[in-house]
Structure 1
């Protein structure tokens, strides 16, 4: 690790400690993360690959009951623990997941994960396997899709044990470019150590 990277990491640690102590009420990286969202992510949120996948899944999941959603989430969690399974394999094999994997790979480590949710908060596509299938009970979905087409929610900086990085999730509503209506949401894990 270079001295500059070391000092930057120390700054991130100090920021996280400040969050933990309650000294900071907002994410100190919010303006940089907002910049990444507007300049890098927004342009591809209207890509037909994203829009078509979300709309297709919305049509597929519209009639699901709470019990059916719970069963799918339980199945996903078991498959995630096992390393794979038919539900996870179906999502990862989709065009949207391939698209998101390419976006993550092209970010040079800035994106730690990228996943898209439908109108119920269910996974549509992802760069990496999430721990659960149902995101609709979490802030990443509740503070975006139901709020409206322009909603953005930037979460606090946290240390991610699996990646060994400090990251913050930026979450945004996905809107149908033809109608302007909210159809889903996206979450991007941002490695704050990679921010300029």
Structure 2
């Protein structure tokens, strides 16, 4: 599968590490010009960059599966999410890309746990929210050769809860209560 990743930071590399197992992955910075997109597009950029990329490439992303990994928190204060209480960054991205299939995923994972495939003794679980089951299957198939466990977290409206969990993990790590190689694990 052809996959496009916006972003070149730790999260982009960690996600790409898993997607490169059986897929063709191309990386672009948020300011790069993209001529051709894969069927799966990962937005591994800071939250403020989402809107600009969506506006620039709305037509080109039509029909594509677009994965938002952002946690839209206030990085000045680290005390709030900056999206309305009844929405999420992923829902905003879906509104900006009405002809794309937007998913929320990877925002509850740290780069280290994506690279290792483990959170403590648990397999790293990638929680995925979205309204299109076929889009979820595209992401699951793309990760099928990786050690990650993909779990369906429900409709795109569940992205708000995923963003809250991601925010909580980040604040725990920033306050040194857990490491950036930790996080919440799921036992079966």
TM-score by length of 1: 0.25
- The answer to which structure has the higher helix fraction is 1
The alignment's TM-score, normalised by the length of structure 2, stands at 0.26
Larger radius of gyration: 1
